[in-house]
């Protein structure tokens, strides 16, 4: 098996690049992978009103979930270049994401700006902070928080991101009519 620099590309990614004839391009692209957030990426992800998270349990069963802000609270806060945190609010009580984090701390976050087509990705290790008082000044209604230690951070290609025009927020009741 081929190996790569730790934390950059795993054997499956390297094999896919070889199999699909993009080894040189893949190696060049791997240079954009960072183990910390740049100031520009920090500003970009903190400006997003929502993002998506991907988690998997210890068997590899995956889950993808939406996380959005409770206006005017931010959706996420960067604590330092290698750490970010986001709130957890009451939901459907299935605890898909948090349950996965308890059995497998790997997490992926995808940030998309549809108004000004751009994307960024962060992969890391998550832990649950159960004390609601820790970040209460930022998210007064949060029940707990997810802290992510950054393993990989990189801008993602903006191709095929549709340009969408934001509309004013509406109540959930309007969506159920």
Q: Considering only 25-39, 79-93, 120-134, 162-176, which range has the smallest mean pLDDT?
A: 162-176
Looking at the fold, whether 93 and 121 belong to one and the same domain comes out as yes
pLDDT tens-place string over residues 29-48: 888 889 999 999 999 999 99
Looking at the fold, whether 28 and 43 belong to one and the same domain comes out as no
Looking at the fold, whether 73 and 50 belong to one and the same domain comes out as yes
pLDDT tens-place string over residues 45-78: 999 999 999 999 999 999 999 999 877 899 999 9
Looking at the fold, whether 7 and 43 belong to one and the same domain comes out as no
Which residues constitute the domain of residue 60?
A: 34-158
3-class SS letters over the chain: CCCCCCCCCCHHHHHHHHHCCCHHHHHHHHHHCECCCCHHHHHHHHHCCEEEEEEECCCCCEEEEEEECCCCCCCCEEEECCEEEEEECCCCCCCHHHHHHHHCCEEEEEEEECCCCEEEEEEEEEEEECCCCCCCCCCCCCCEEEEEEEEEEEEECCCCCCCCCCCCCCCHHHHCC
Q: Answer yes or no: is pLDDT of 6 > 70.
A: no
Q: How many structural domains is the chain composed of?
A: 2
pTM, full prediction: 0.86
């Amino acid at each position: 098996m081929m190996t790569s620099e730790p934390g950059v590309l795993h054997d499956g990614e390297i094999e896919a690049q070889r199999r699909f004839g993009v080894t040189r391009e893949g190696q060049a692209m791997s240079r954009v992978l960072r183990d910390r957030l740049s100031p520009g990426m920090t500003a970009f992800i903190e400006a997003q009103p929502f993002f998506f998270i991907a988690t998997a349990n210890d068997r590899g069963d995956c889950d993808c979930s939406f996380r959005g802000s409770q206006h005017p609270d931010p959706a996420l806060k960067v604590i330092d270049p290698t750490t970010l945190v986001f709130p957890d609010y009451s939901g459907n009580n299935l605890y898909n994401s948090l349950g996965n984090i308890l059995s497998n701390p790997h997490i992926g976050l995808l940030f998309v700006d549809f108004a000004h087509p751009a994307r960024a990705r962060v992969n890391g290790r998550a832990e649950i902070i159960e004390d609601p008082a820790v970040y209460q000044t930022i998210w007064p209604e949060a029940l707990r928080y997810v802290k992510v230690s950054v393993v990989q951070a990189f801008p993602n290609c903006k191709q095929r991101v549709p340009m969408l025009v934001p509309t004013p927020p509406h109540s959930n009741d309007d969506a159920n009519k």
